[in-house]
Structure 1
Amino acid sequence: MFSMPMALILSSHVAASMVGGGVSQRVLNSARIDTMLVPTVLFGRHPGWGEPGGGPVEQDQFESVLSGIADQGLLDITDIVLAGYFADVGQIFDTASVIDVVRKGRRMNKGVKAALPAPIIVVDPIMGDSPGGLYVSPAIAAAIKDQLITRADLVTPNLFELGHITGRPLTDLASMVRAARAMERPVLVSSLPRHGQIGVLYVDSEQAWLVTHDRLPKAPNGTGDALTAAFINRLLAGDDARTALEQSVAMTVSLVMRAHEWSAPELPVVAAADVLTSPLVTLEAEAV
């Protein structure tokens, strides 16, 4: 029986803003990846717009949602786990446990085989940014590092998060590459200032690639979520790391370009879905 890839997303649900798990879900869906979104918070809008409304999902409810998914047997055929924003430490420990269950899964449920021979665990360590610093508690940041990054196949921090996680000064590109390699797993680092432009860096034990693009006027929130999901899309499409980097950054830049063209306050992930398969720009990575 033919099966599409299945992704389990554990992140924020924000009703009126195109951020968090909502963006991850839509970008993955654009590549025909089925998704299950387990919300860690239920917000009305992004906090950047003001008081968001709603609040964290209580841990017992979070666990109950995961139990329902498990009881349906879907953790056996989960191909991607994408961990994003968390509201409390308990959710992080629950997510770590779910990752362990997914890794041990039978890769078959009710006659349906998983699309991938083994799951891919992606951790977007959403914890802070420059210049504001941490916007989660130190306990949440520590739990992400200790419980989730240690289980990840791919980590996608921004530059501030890379420095916080590794505890290393990031003074130039070489120090950024060394810090990423210190995580001992593939890393996709966003928000790198580079000669007046902005860059995204991919690093693993054997290679390092950098894509830069012009700084656009203030981008809508959610670009990091979109980038991570787009990179996953390209990996599952069979791209090598360099091509996946070039394509996913081009897709994200194209979404921002459409937002500016249409004066959209949010990422137009649905209206501009075409740019997720045919980006408006072509970017070329350089080896570093």
Structure 2
Amino acid sequence: MKILSIQSAVAYGHVGNSAAVFPLQRIGVEVLPVYTVNFSNHTGYGAWRGPMISPDDVRDVITGIEERGVLGQIDVVLSGYQGGEGIADVILDAVGRVKAANPDAVYACDPVMGNATSGCFVAPAIPQLLRDRVVPAADIITPNQFELGYLTATEPHTLESTLASVDAARALGPRTVLVTSVQRPDRPADTIEMLAVDDAGAWIVQTPMLPLKANGSGDVTAALFTAHYRATGSASEALARSTSSVYDLLERTHQSGERELQLVEAQESYAHPRMQFEVTQVR
């Protein structure tokens, strides 16, 4: 499997491609990373250095890849956080070029906008751009519950309302939706869930909620779920595998006391997930 991953990069820590590439490689995926920024660290520190890469330069890198004749070998285009408005056009153009070369390729979009705690933390134009242009072009999307609500102008809260919101999101275009960080009111205390839905059904998995803020964990989740789903065609299997891997990554990070994901240290969790959480079909 080959994945063209168009995301940010940091020298210190693990977000964007700096979070997604190694876990994908560890499960045997060939990744072609294309960077949208090249920062010293993620912006959660409040200070960082390094350039945003212009949309023209990002497009130029993709054109260079195309000139090597490999777009027909790409199985997935993956995108995450979009720092500026212009990068969406580059990503959509890349998706079009890849699908023209390989009609079986899919586009997986993590529509990063914000979360219930912080609200939106992207440029003001990005949420509408994602909703109106990017998400309708995607085959797979991986929003959190807050992002799902924005995309569909709904209020996902209970399992039933979250499923209804997923149906509204699928009506926009993507056939497969992974909802991360589902927090329904009737769940057991100190737990969190993820929900995966495709044409075959809907599945939910519950894990303990660890007391940490882990920048980049969503990038790892989106990457692993997408790869496992593409490999198996099973949303339940992809959900089980990615949940197991990401939970063990987060647990190891929490135990370390470090702020940054212990991405390398947790590598066996990607290659050999313990499959310790039960996935339940809910529809």
**TM-score, length basis structure 2:** 0.91
Runs of 4+ in 1 over 3 A off after TM superposition: none
1:192 aligned onto 2:182: yes
| 1:183-222 → structure 2 map (5 Å cutoff) | 183-184=169-170, 185-193=175-183, 194-196=187-189, 197-222=191-216
Alpha-carbon separation, structure 2, partners of 1:234 and 1:29: 12
| 1:1-288 → structure 2 map (5 Å cutoff) | 5-105=1-101, 107=102, 118-184=104-170, 185-193=175-183, 194-196=187-189, 197-238=191-232, 240-280=234-274, 282-288=276-282
**TM-score, length basis structure 1:** 0.90
Does the 8 Å CA contact 2:179/2:196 hold for their aligned counterparts? Answer: yes
Does the 8 Å CA contact 1:121/1:154 hold for their aligned counterparts? Answer: yes
Does the 8 Å CA contact 1:254/1:281 hold for their aligned counterparts? Answer: no
Q: Residue 159 of structure 1: CA displacement? A: 0.8
Does the 8 Å CA contact 2:212/2:254 hold for their aligned counterparts? Answer: no
Does the 8 Å CA contact 2:84/2:126 hold for their aligned counterparts? Answer: yes
Query: Which runs of 5 or more residues in structure 2 are unaligned?
Result: none
What is the SS of the residue equivalent to 2:4? Answer: strand
CA RMSD in angstroms, aligned pairs only: 1.6
What is the SS of the residue equivalent to 1:101? Answer: helix
Alpha-carbon separation, structure 2, partners of 1:280 and 1:160: 29
Query: Which runs of 5 or more residues in structure 1 are unaligned?
Result: 108-116
Q: Residue 146 of structure 1: CA displacement? A: 2.3
Shift of the 206–280 alpha-carbon distance from structure 1 to 2, 3 Å rule, reads: closer
Residue identity opposite 2:212 in structure 1: K
Shift of the 245–12 alpha-carbon distance from structure 1 to 2, 3 Å rule, reads: same
What is the SS of the residue equivalent to 1:250? Answer: helix
Q: Residue 280 of structure 1: CA displacement? A: 4.7
Alignment length (residue pairs): 274
